[in-house]
Amino acid sequence: MTKQPRSIARLSALLQSGALDPVALAEETLAAIQSQPDTAIFTTLLTDHARVEAEASRRRLAEGRSLGVLDGVPVAWKDLFDIEGLPTTAGSRVLRESAPAGRDAAVVRALSAAGMVSVGRVNMSEFAFSGLGINPHYGTPRNPASPAGEHRIPGGSSSGSGVAVAAGLVPVSIGTDTGGSVRIPAAFNGIVGYKATRGRYSMEGVFPLARSLDSLGPLCRTVQDAVWIDAAMRGLPAAEPLAHPAVADLSFVIPETVVFDGAEQEVVSAFEAAVERLARAGARIRREAFPEFSAIFDLMARHGALVTAEAYVLHRERLTGPAAALMDPRVVKRSLLGEKIALSDYLATLDERERLMAAFEARLGPGNILIHPTLPHVAPPIQPLLDDEDLFFQTNGKTLRNTLIGNFLDGCGVSLPCGTAAGGMPAGLLLSGPKGSDQRLLAAAAAVEKLLDL
């Protein structure tokens, strides 16, 4: 399975036709995970659970009672989603002895109801508070695109999700995205990552980071896969048909503010090559300054970041008690910055956020899609980041920069692979839309994906 990664669509066709047995697929998946040299990808294997769900799928398919296109397809979960009977550790040692979940998270139940087979939990940045994916407690998954002999970072915080899909262990893993945690590992690992509009799915049973920013989404191999997962996570019996627009009917806006600052030339070149293909196919493309983007960072400099304020409130007792000694000191240091953010600063940020959201939507214009590099750089080697704390924080900030804009503006986004850059590492292209424009964005992403055909 690791040598020939398969999409949900491909697996579904095999399962529904009877050419592939759900139990055989589950056993193949579990065996591939267990034989994977990188033991930092999965934190928990749900072996018995997976076998029960696969057996149930086998019976349904044999009796002509398929639950739909996802029946029998394996899925992995970031270690933020409650799984009945297990503690939700959020990538931390602190929660290892916490009470086990009384039931599955709502979206776990939703995908189970669609017939999917949960095979395990995957690694992440501790408490989801880093865009790099480094975890000192459970190890850091190696980016599968790393050159021989190198350990490049996977991106975070959904690190294990990105690597599990990129390595071909599972066709999809569900992550969370508070500042880019789905789109960053998708771009670094050369796969598709869809961050849904906040509130599109139930957050019941999902360990939070910052509720005003937290959203969910799948990391997978194709946009069509993301569309099917999206429908199931919303409890729909089937996915809504995509509009399938022609590229010539699409309008894109390239922001000239912030997102290209300090970007690696090879990343920019990969992006511009993709834009040129869109232009040749007839897409309407304009470039425009977005002062709202600069205003977001000015606002954070004046009042502090929403994520930092909310993370501090969430973890205050841990940060000021003995648990802090068990946490990643970089997570502790960043979280403690929230102690200095006054309530007046927090409320001022929320007020200004509403204004900036409205200004952004007006400047983007109806029906237009924002397009720019997902990240300004490719995945760097891990060791210098471990050796130099200043470099760690500098790189983390730069990695989160482009994607956090979408979270602050409460929108949706899809990162697509758009070629390779320095060192042959993947580069990503990010399509974004305003709050609630998910269906239109997914349809556009499918059209762009088909044109790029990477």
| Contact in structure between 329 and 295 (CB atoms under 8 Å) | no
- What distance in Å separates the CA atoms of residue 370 and residue 326, rounded to the nearest whole number? 41
DSSP state of 369: E
The tokens of 399 are what?
Answer: 């990695």
DSSP helix/strand/coil, 97: coil
Place of tokens 């409460």: 410
Neighbours of 254 (CB within 10 A): 18
Cα 451 to chain centroid distance, Å, stands at: 23
- Helix crossing, 343-364 with 306-319: angle to 10°? 150
Considering only CA atoms, which of 152, 91, 95, 100 is closest in space to residue 126?
91
The tokens of 336 are what?
Answer: 């403690």
Active site residue ranges:
78, 157, 181
Residue 7 CB partners (closer than 8 Å, separation 6+) = 171, 220, 221, 222, 224, 225
DSSP helix/strand/coil, 399: helix
DSSP helix/strand/coil, 219: strand
Considering only CA atoms, which of 334, 397, 383, 369 is closest in space to residue 184?
397
